[in-house]
Structure 1
Amino acid sequence: MNRIDALFQRKPSKVLNIYCTAGFPALNDTMTVVEALQESGADMIELGMPFSDPLADGPVIQESSTRAIRNGMRISVLFEQLQNLRDRVTVPVVLMGYLNPVLQFGVRDFCEKCAEVGVDGLILPDLPMDEYESEYKPIFDQYGLHLIFLVTPETKEERIRKIDAASRGFVYAVSSSSTTGKDKDMSHQAAYFERLENMKLKNPVLIGFGIRDKATFDAACAHSSGAIIGTAFVKAIENSGNLQATVADFVKGIIA
């Protein structure tokens, strides 16, 4: 069973998924951060693949991506860093990024490497669902990878149900149509969250964008299986002098 599915069977609510940019703050910090997140209580880790034009990301994550690329991070380097991932990490790991670098690496080769190192799923916001189903789904299935799609407050019910049918693992519910990192009052999104909850989708729903502390995490969890925190975590570690301690303090502040 895919580790994402096993997680939601074991823990159907209050799932904490933390996003971190690979190769940030320093090139070789990737596994240090991943291991610290697991040890501190994160349920899932979303590992960002740095890209020069990350359209869905706000300025903080864009800057972390730029810094990681400047550090020397590339997909080939990331796979080298993850080579012994499953010797030390048991929680699900999802790679988040954009289609162009995957195409350059080669979709089949990329999926094969993901399976080899123990990646469980992918989030590729600019991969159209129709293109995925017609061209890439058999490859993803061959290597046991879940592809996670995004929905927004503007996504129509018919489209949400189509996305739910195509998705595996979970559905990523973007809390608003802006980029990541914008401060949002979760109470203003309650109707949207309730609409998704009442649709009884086959996949669990995780809410992302604007989740930054215990209050926003709890508000998102009231109508979903959990939430994703990215920008606030990247901010917390960008100038850390002790990554393990910083990660532990951040995660404990969310789940305490």
Structure 2
Amino acid sequence: MNRLKKLFTEKKENILSIYYTAGYPEIGATLKIAQALEKAGADFLEIGFPYSDPVADGPTIQHSSQVSIENGMTLKVLFQQLKDLRPQVSIPILLMGYVNPMLQYGVANFCKDVAEAGVDGIIVPDLPLYEYEELYKDEFIKNGLSNIFLVTPNTSEERIRKIDELSTGFIYLLSSSATTGKDLDQSDKISKYYERVKAMNLKNPLIIGFGISDKASFDRANKYVDGAIMGTAFVKTIGNKEDYLSHIPEFIGKIKGV
């Protein structure tokens, strides 16, 4: 059983995932932050690989990508850093980024190096569903990698069921169709969207992302699904603190109410 499946088998609610950008706020931060987050109580992590045109991201994560690139972060550097990942971090890890860097690296080489690093899956928001199924699915399966698909309030039931069929980790339920960094939408329309997807009784766990910024929004999200992802609020925290590692336990503690 892989690490993601093990997590979702053992924990059914209030699962907390944290997103951060590799190489931010400094080039050597990637594994230090992962270790600190695991120790503080995060359930799984999403490590972003930076891209020069992160169109789905708000200003905070765009800035972290820019700084990361300026710091010298590339996929090659990231994979070099991740060679030391698994002796130090045991919780599930996903890589998240855009399709262009993956294609430039070569999908077969990318999947091989991701798996060799001990990473459990990949989130590529701009990878079309049909391209994944027709061109790349075999590489993911061969390397034991979960490909995480995104669902928005506008996604049809037919497409959601297709995503559920192709998924082997969880389904990333976007709280809106906007960029990252917006507040969690609490409208009746969005609540009905969560309820509609939950009522479909999908085989994969549901995790909400975009707009989770504090304990209140984390708790609201968990009324509907298995867990939630925090990105912008965490990236702001580590970007604003010189001794950023020492503030991680407090950040996670506030979200989890401990």
TM-score bracket for this pair, using the shorter chain length: over 0.9
Task: Decide which moves more: 116-125 or 184-193.
Answer: 184-193
Q: Offset at 1:153?
A: 0.5
Give the aligned partner of residue 241 of structure 1.
242
Say how many residue pairs are matched: 256
Give the aligned partner of residue 203 of structure 1.
204
Give the aligned partner of residue 152 of structure 1.
152
Q: 5+ residue gaps in structure 1?
A: none
Give the aligned partner of residue 50 of structure 2.
50
C-alpha contact (below 8 Å) 1:25/1:239 kept by paired residues? no
C-alpha contact (below 8 Å) 2:25/2:68 kept by paired residues? yes
Q: Deviations over 1:52-87 (max 9, x none)?
A: 011111111001000100110000000111111000
State the Cα RMSD in Å: 0.9
Matches of 1:41 and 1:243 in 2, distance apart?
16
For residue 49 of structure 2, what is the amino acid of its counterpart?
M
Identical pairs, percent: 54
Q: 5+ residue gaps in structure 2?
A: none
Give the aligned partner of residue 82 of structure 2.
82
- Give the secondary structure class of the aligned counterpart of 1:86: coil
Give the aligned partner of residue 193 of structure 2.
192
C-alpha contact (below 8 Å) 2:64/2:235 kept by paired residues? yes
Give the aligned partner of residue 221 of structure 1.
222
Matches of 2:53 and 2:79 in 1, distance apart?
21
Matches of 2:129 and 2:168 in 1, distance apart?
12
C-alpha contact (below 8 Å) 1:46/1:94 kept by paired residues? yes
C-alpha contact (below 8 Å) 1:58/1:179 kept by paired residues? yes
Give the aligned partner of residue 30 of structure 2.
30
1:12 and 2:12 are equivalent in the alignment: yes
Matches of 1:201 and 1:104 in 2, distance apart?
34
Matches of 2:115 and 2:254 in 1, distance apart?
33
Give the TM-score normalised by structure 1.
0.98
Q: Offset at 1:246?
A: 1.2
Give the TM-score normalised by structure 2.
0.97
C-alpha contact (below 8 Å) 1:186/1:220 kept by paired residues? no
Q: Offset at 1:187?
A: 5.0
Q: Deviations over 1:7-48 (max 9, x none)?
A: 000101111010000000011111111110000000000000
For residue 125 of structure 1, what is the amino acid of its counterpart?
P
Q: Offset at 1:113?
A: 0.7
Matches of 1:184 and 1:18 in 2, distance apart?
16
